Amino acid sequence: MFNVGISQAGNVNVMTSNNGGLTNEQIADLAVDKIVSISDDAPAHIRQQANQFREHLKNVLYHYLLLARREERGTIIQALLSGGQKETAEYIRRL
C-alpha cells in the first residue's frame, strides 16, 4: 500500500481602495500578513504574544511607510522645482 498525497489551493487576501491607491495602513497590513501567520491551533498565550508582536511590527512598518512616502514626495518636489514646475511641486507638497 502507498500513501496518496493531497493537493491544495491556498487562500488569497484581497485589499482594495477607492479614489486613489492603498493607504499606509493597508500596505502595513499586507506586509504584516506576509511576515506573521498565527496558527489557530497554537496555545492561547503563544497566540497572544504573536498578536502583540504583530501589532508592534505593524506600527513600525506604518511609521517607515509614512516616512518613505514623505521622502519620495520630497525628492519628486525637488525634481519638479529644478525643472521649473513650481505649481505642480506645490500641489504635490499639499497631498
Cell 506573521 appears where? 36
- Asked if 16 interacts with other proteins (CB under 8 A), we say yes
Please, what is the Cα angle at 63 between 72 and 35, to 5 degrees?
Answer: 105
Write down the least CB distance from residue 2 to other proteins, Å: 13
Q: Which residues contact 80 (CB under 8 A, 6 or more apart)?
A: 86, 88, 89, 92
Candidates 37, 40, 43, 95: give the one binding other proteins (CB under 8 A): 37
- Asked if 2 interacts with other proteins (CB under 8 A), we say no
Binding site for other proteins (CB under 8 A): 5-22, 30, 33-34, 37
